[in-house]
Structure formats: C-alpha cells, structure tokens
Structure 1
Amino acid sequence: MTEDFDRHNTKMAKKKAARDKIMATKTEEKGLIIIHTGKGKGKSSSAFGMIFRCIAHKMPCAVVQFIKGGMNTGERDLIEQNFGELCEFHTMGEGFTWETQDRSRDIEMAQAAWAKAKELILDDSRRMVLLDEINIALRYDYLDVAEVRDWLLANKPPMTHVVLTGRNARDELIEIADLVTEMELVKHPFRSGVKAQAGVEF
C-alpha cells in the first residue's frame, strides 16, 4: 500500500511540474468572445454562472435577453432585486417564436435588443455582457450575422467579455470566438413528460 501511495505521489509531482511549465507560458489577458450552443440543456445557466462570478468580483456586467420575456426567471429576479447596481438586466424579447407568431414584431424586438447590446458593450467599464439566446435570433434571420460578427470584431473593447447563447450558433460567429462550448443532449426529462420546473429551467 505504501508503495502505491509513493508511486501515485511521484506521478502527481511529475504531472504538476509539467502543468506548471505549461501555465507559465499563459500570460495574455483579453476580453473573450464566448459561445454556448448545442441541443443540450445548460447554455444560459452556464452563462449566468459567469455573470454571477463577475458580480462576486464586483465587476460591472449586463444581460440582454433576445427571446425570453414572457415569464419571470430566478436569474432575473435575483439580479434585479439584489445586484442591480452591478448588473443591468434587459429582457427585450417577448417569448419564443412559436408563442409570439408575429415575425415582423420578433424582428423589431431583436433589432432593439441588438441596439441595446451594442450600447452596453461599448461601455468598457463593463467586464462582461451576456447576449442570451441571440443565436436563436440569428438562426431565424432576425439579425444579420455578418453585421453582428463585423461589429464585434471592430468595436468590442479589448477587455470586455461577450457571451452568446442559444442553439445553432452560426459558423461565422464560431470562427471569431475564443471559447465555444457545445452542450450535448443525452437525456432530458421533458421527453418523459416532465414539465419545466422552477429552480431547474427558470
């Protein structure tokens, strides 16, 4: 048993030395373009985790929701009631497209949300801006993906993180992103007849 522990400790010491050597080369700091996409659950939840980290570090941040809007969510209630001075929250959408059933109105609201997003991103005092479900707006061509890509490349302040969530992220944005995570669906309770529940989905 002692020999197993000694072997393990030696292995971990070598691993730590190799890891420390790699970490010593990582010296750059920059504002990232981050994408959470895929069919699996957790895209917005993960992004809100980043927003709460910013809040915990007293870093000003902001959220723009492009689609959600027809219901209260725990994230919005918590931020608006307790952290409004650190995080601006703008719910610009009016619900999912199958609920609104008004394409012209959806386009109008998405354009207004993008205008607000640009205003928030340009203020370089903000460390992070979350564009929640913008990928959905782009998927349905409510926004021009080339315009969004080009604007981010030309105007995003160097130290500002921008997080874009939603299924079906466009290739044009994946190409310019620094960090892309695809959530993979393995199982979901909805398929077994379980409805969306507070504390899990909203």
Structure 2
Amino acid sequence: MTEPTSDDLARHSQKMAKKKAARDKIMATKSDQKGLVIVHTGKGKGKSSAAFGMIFRCIAHDMHCAVVQFIKGGMSTGERDLILSRFADLCDFHTMGEGFTWETQDKARDIEMAQAAWEKAKDLIRDPANKMVLLDEINIAMRYDYIDVTEVVEFLATEKPPMTHVVLTGRNAKEPLIDLADLVTEMELIKHPFRDGIKAQIGVEY
C-alpha cells in the first residue's frame, strides 16, 4: 500500500468537507418524526433477525414494545427466551402460531390461530404504551389469505397511533402492504447453507 502524500491528504480533507456540508444541508430539512410501518420481506435470511434487532434497541432505550409471532410454534428461540427471562417488563411476547403449514397440516386451525394473533396484534398496536410492535411472519399468514391484507392495511392506515412503529416480517409481502409502508427492505438470497445440507443452528437461525 502506497503512503498518501500531503497533497492526497489535503484533497481528501477538502472532499470530505464538501460532503459534510452537503449532508448537513440535507439533514437540516429532516425534522419530522412519525411512527413507521416497516416491512422486511424477500427470500434471504435475516428478516426476523433484523426486526428483533430493533426490538432490542427499544428495550435498550427503556421503550415498551411487543412481539406477536404468527407462524413460528412454541419452540425455544434465543430472542424469545431472552425477552421472557430478562425483559418481560418492557416487551410483551406472544407466540400465537403452531408452526409452519406443512407441519400443522390443518388449514382451519392455522386460520383460527392467525386470526387470533391478528386480534392480539391490533390490541397491542392500539395501546399507546407500545412504541414498537413486531408482527413476525405475518406476511406468510397474509400470503395464504389466513388474514386479509386489505384489513391489515386499513387498520394500519386508520388506527395505528401516530408515533407507534409496526414491523411486519415474512416472505412474499403483498403489494398493498408495500404501498402503505414507509420502509421496505427485501432480503436477497445469494447463498444459504441449507442448500449444502446444513440444518438450522442455534445462534444463527434461533
């Protein structure tokens, strides 16, 4: 690696000063705050992991929050166990699903559980004490029409408190939800160890 010359360093400083001035000008126009509708979707890993990262940020700031899991069953996960054992006073955690559809093999029961989870979610979102509510894997429930996406979008548009953040995760997010959302991230799959015969592992997937 070639050591930078004094001229290189001076040019770099000037370039960064211009960038900072431009950035400061942009930031001066950003003064509004609002409760966001945030969607994590796509085939890649990390949708729920990123959402739980925001939940733990809320916990770190002593902000009350809540989680409703729509699909995942009652299996032990690191996030769930940590929240229930250490932070139950700051985060309400509700695992309402009984597993993926190929595991339950009971569509009527899946619909019943998804509907119950949605009713719980609405109660938690309406509660102004909750600064963030994570609806984990709700996109899957909407994909299979266990929950009507039109109802979800209408509720978020009309009943969500103005400063409450709602995070919705899962593959195949439907277009009406994407249109409503303030922030949408699609996780792209490039490589996954499952394709090489490696199963889900503690600390990585759960």
Give the TM-score normalised by the residue count of structure 1: 0.99
**What pairs with 1:118-129 in structure 2 (closer than 5 Å)?**
118-129=122-133
Distance 2:121 2:130 in 1: 12
| Shift in Å, 1:125 | 1.3
2:32 equivalent to 1:16: no
2:96 aligned partner, one-letter code: M
Distance 1:103 1:56 in 2: 39
Match of 2:157 in 1: 153
Distance 1:69 1:63 in 2: 14
2:115 equivalent to 1:96: no
RMSD, aligned α-carbons:
0.5
Q: Of 182, 192, 196, which residue of structure 2 is paired with 1:192?
A: 196
Distance 2:58 2:81 in 1: 17
Q: Of 21, 42, 45, which residue of structure 1 is paired with 2:49?
A: 45
Distance 2:103 2:37 in 1: 30
Number of aligned residues: 202
- The superposition leaves residues 161-188 of structure 1 with CA deviations (integer Å, 9 ceiling, x where unpaired) of 0000000000010000000000000100
Spell out structure 1 runs of 4+ moving beyond 6 A: none
| Shift in Å, 1:91 | 0.1
- The superposition leaves residues 61-85 of structure 1 with CA deviations (integer Å, 9 ceiling, x where unpaired) of 0000000014110000000000000
SS of 1:77's partner is helix
1:40 aligned partner, one-letter code: G
Percent pairwise identity: 75
Q: For structure 2, list consecutive stretches of 5 or more residues without a partner in the other structure.
A: none
Distance 2:141 2:200 in 1: 22
Distance 1:189 1:162 in 2: 30
- The superposition leaves residues 130-152 of structure 1 with CA deviations (integer Å, 9 ceiling, x where unpaired) of 00000000000100111111111
**What pairs with 1:38-117 in structure 2 (closer than 5 Å)?**
38-117=42-121
1:161 aligned partner, one-letter code: H
Distance 2:98 2:68 in 1: 12
Distance 1:155 1:96 in 2: 29
Give the TM-score normalised by the residue count of structure 2: 0.97
Distance 1:5 1:81 in 2: 51
Distance 1:97 1:24 in 2: 49
Q: For structure 1, list consecutive stretches of 5 or more residues without a partner in the other structure.
A: none
Distance 1:124 1:160 in 2: 7
**What pairs with 1:20-39 in structure 2 (closer than 5 Å)?**
20-39=24-43
SS of 1:6's partner is helix
Match of 1:133 in 2: 137
**What pairs with 1:148-187 in structure 2 (closer than 5 Å)?**
148-187=152-191
CA contact (8 A) 2:74 2:95 kept: no
Distance 1:98 1:26 in 2: 46
